[in-house]
Structure 1
Amino acid sequence: MKPLLLLDVDGVLNPMGRPTPDFRRYRCTIGDATYIVNLNPRHGRRLLDLALTTGSELVWATTWEHHANDWIAPRIGLPSLPVIPLNPDVPSEHGEMFKTPRVAEYVGRRPFVWFDDQVWAEDEEYLRVHQGLDDFLLIHVEPRTGLTSRHLGMAHEWLTLTGFSQGS
């Protein structure tokens, strides 16, 4: 069972704060809406390296859903990735984020690391208590700064030390 690396876009790959000079600004049009995103082209290579060294599979866990493959992936150097279908209109039952039940359905019993700016204790409790999952790491990313080397290091260390890494 390959571990999964779940990726959010807004607040993780597209920080909400003032981007550093290594980010590039893009204008993305989806339907009638236009979005401004700031993306670091080095994130793609770093995520691919993490997946390769740990034997993990990258998966989108974002409200961008399949649009992430059209607009985000090519701008940071990622291939098209599997997408977890989300339904933001379904209310929370136990205080968890709306994505969390969909993530639980998708991952099944596979170990996973989830990079998101909205994962909290309620999400961990939902996954452990209500879904009976044990083998996961939620990495809360500060939305103003986005994904950093520290986050990637945490994921690498957890996957390697827990023995889920197939590349160790």
Structure 2
Amino acid sequence: MLLVDVDGVLNPFSSQPGFRRYECTVGGEHYTVHLNREHGSWLMELAVATRSELVWATTWEDSANEWIAPRLGLPQLPVVPFARDVPSELGEMFKTPHVAKYVGSTPFVWFDDHVFLEDEEYLRGYQGVSDFLLVNIEPRRGLTREHVEMAREWLSLSGFSQGP
């Protein structure tokens, strides 16, 4: 499984070459996002090569399918549902317990700009969670080819790649 955040990952917090600006309204709130269509190609290639399912792990939730996916050339993706009222146990971010429940025993890679040691510790201690790789994205830069290749290498070494 490939879990993908939007803000700070696909929508970096500073201007980057190759990104296009979009204006959107979600739940009555206006947002400006900067997206690079190459990200969609990279993620789809990674999913196909590793036989992995792409899943939104973002506070955009279902709105990511409406506003982000079409602009990146991605299909409608499943969404990890979040609630913000889950108290932290180890200092993990609010998304982490929801991700743990969602993935179950499926190995996964998680691209996010807020995954840290506390999140790793939480996931390692969560009953039933299998192997995973947390890819912490620098939010001012966003997702890079190097991040995608890191995930591809980890999935290949873990036996999830189809091969050449």
TM norm structure 1: 0.94
Which whole-Å CA distance do the structure 1 matches of 2:87 and 2:140 have between them? 26
Tell me if 1:81 matches 2:77. Answer: yes
For residue 122 of structure 1, what is the aligned residue in structure 2?
118
RMSD: 1.0
Aligned pairs (5 A) from 1:46-61: 46-61=42-57
Confirm or deny: 8 A CA contact 2:104 2:130 kept in the other structure.
no
Query: Alpha-carbon deviations, 1:92-130, whole Å to 9, x = none?
Result: 122111000000000000000000000000000000023
Task: Say whether residues 1:34 and 2:30 are aligned partners.
Answer: yes
Distance in 2 (alpha carbons) for counterparts of 1:82 and 1:36? 23
**Does the 8 Å CA contact 1:111/1:164 hold for their aligned counterparts?**
no
CA contact (8 A) 1:5 1:58 kept: yes
Aligned residues: 163
Task: Select 1:109's aligned residue among 105, 130, 133.
Answer: 105
Q: Secondary structure at the match of 1:85?
A: coil
- Determine what percentage of the aligned residue pairs are the same residue: 64
What is the distance in 1 between the residues matched to 2:110 and 2:73? 20
Is the CA contact (8 Å cut-off) linking 2:100 and 2:126 kept in structure 1?
no
Conserved in 2, the CA contact under 8 Å of 1:23 and 1:38? yes
- How far the C-alpha of 1:132 sits from its partner, in A, is 5.1
Alpha-carbon distance between aligned partners in 2 of 1:136 and 1:31, rounded to the nearest angstrom: 33
1:89-168 superposed matches below 5 A: 89-131=85-127, 133-165=129-161, 167-168=162-163
Matching residue of 1:19: 16
Equivalent of residue 43 in structure 1, options 39, 45, 53: 39
Match of 1:5 among 2, 23, 38: 2
Instruction: Name the SS of the counterpart of 1:122 in structure 2.
Output: helix
Contact 2:106/2:130 (8 A) holds in 1? no
CA distance in structure 2 between the aligned counterparts of 1:89 and 1:129, rounded to whole angstroms: 21
User: Is the Cα contact below 8 Å between 1:111 and 1:135 reproduced in 2?
Assistant: yes
Query: Could you tell me how far apart the structure 2 residues matched to 1:132 and 1:91 are?
Result: 20
Q: TM-score scaled by structure 2? A: 0.96
SS in structure 2 of the partner of residue 87 of structure 1 = coil
Are the aligned partners of 1:11 and 1:144 in contact in 2 as well (CA < 8 Å)?
A: yes
The residue identity in structure 1 corresponding to 2:10 is L
Offset from partner CA, 1:117-168 (integer Å, 9 cap, x none): 0000000000002335340000000000000000000000000011123x12
Residue 87 of structure 2: SS of its match in structure 1? coil
SS of 2:43's partner is helix
Asked whether the equivalents of residues 69 and 80 of structure 1 are also in contact (C-alpha less than 8 Å), the reply is yes
